[in-house]
Amino acid sequence: MKDKIIIAVDAMGGENSPDKNIHGLSLFLQNNKKLKNCFFKLYGDEKKIKEKIKKYKISSSNITIHNSLSTVSDEETPLTAIKNSKDSSMWNSVNSQIEDDADITLSAGNTGVLFVISRMLLKTIEGVNKPALAGLWPNKKGVSVVLDLGANIECDEKNLVDFSEMGSALFKSLFNDQKPKVALLNIGSEEIKGTELIKKAYSRLKDISKYGDFEFNGYVEGNKIFEGSSDVIIADGFTGNIALKTAEGTSKFLTDSLKEALQENLLSKFSLLFSYFSLKRFKNKLDPRKYNGAIFLGLKGPVVKSHGSTDAFGFYHSIDLCYRIIKGDLMSKIKNNFSHIDGKK
């Protein structure tokens, strides 16, 4: 573990910024009062940031503010952003990994622009031609790492293998070096099912798994993702994004339907008294804010994308994710995993 962890935060990214960003930081600091080795570089409007720091009574001993008056709007396109976003809070927070010793960058700003800026400034890891977007999904046994969630519409066999190595490294960095079980998302669990691309990736992953980076768990169907039998789920960005949006929509449908049913009449409202704690646990398990933060994998430095519409509680969890990623030494684990692909230790 590093003696000193530095997190660069785009304080102006996302809705209701910088209030929710600084409030989220205050929640992290309140819940980690004994933490002495974590420092923050905040990029954005210095005057507004200082006002929020004062509002939430945050000690400035482990915080430095870097004034960046320009911001990246949600309407900005990746193409125009390259020309317009230099010296923005997003640009500077990513660039801090190159010029200012930051270990990781966090932003709730425009996803497409953040991805382009990150790839341009940080560059890709040698041998990786397509970085992936990874997320954390709850399951019956804990949490799964799922990638790619939309960064790459088309992938080849090598890309899926790369995603497996990077995803397993992420899982190990977050969960105390547990050996992850990796599975390919497919239309069936039988080895003969799937496209030629999936079958080739299956064969390659089965061979590579002998080096011990992960245990290859074969195929997993969409309806089995949340069983928790696999720790890392691999898909191309097109399939992964559909799975993500389907899961989000299903979760919202279930919670909305349950809420509606429990408020239907006096009897159903009365039943809440007897099921309050069970419902609270149910809501807590599915709370998307607890899993807030998608990780760009395949770059020479880690970047976390918080959901733009999340609140302070969600942003707090994305800060906590950043801390755990660096504490778990993600980049070294990725490097170690890739050293095994060609059978080389």
pLDDT, tens digit (0-9, with 9 covering 90-100), for 289-324: 999 999 999 999 999 999 999 999 999 999 999 999
The whole-angstrom separation of Cα 87 and Cα 107 is 15
Please report how the helices 111-122 and 89-99 are oriented relative to each other, as an axis angle in degrees rounded to 10. 20
DSSP designation for 42:
E
Hunting for tokens 């691309």 — which residue is that? Answer: 197
pLDDT in tens, the chain (345 residues): 677 999 999 999 999 999 999 999 999 999 998 888 899 999 999 999 999 999 999 987 899 999 998 888 888 887 787 777 788 999 999 999 998 799 999 999 999 999 999 999 999 999 899 999 999 999 999 999 999 999 999 999 999 999 999 999 999 999 986 789 999 999 988 888 888 999 999 999 998 888 878 999 999 999 999 999 999 999 999 999 999 999 888 888 887 887 787 777 777 777 767 776 777 777 777 788 999 999 999 999 999 999 999 999 999 999 999 999 999 999 999 998 888 765 543
184, β-bridge pairs: 219, 234
For CATH 3.40.50.10950, list the domain ranges present in the chain: 1-123+299-345
The verdict on domain 1-123+299-345 having CATH code 3.10.28.10 is no
Inter-CA distances, 108 with 24, 59, 299, Å: 12, 23, 18
End-to-end CA distance of the chain: 22
Hunting for tokens 């080389």 — which residue is that? Answer: 344
Domain 133-291: top CATH class: alpha beta
The whole-angstrom separation of Cα 82 and Cα 260 is 46
For CATH 3.40.718.10, list the domain ranges present in the chain: 133-291
Helix (H, G, I), strand (E, B) or coil at 66: strand
146, β-bridge pairs: 135, 233
Q: How many CB atoms lie within 10 A of CB 55?
A: 12
pTM of the predicted model, to two decimals? Answer: 0.91
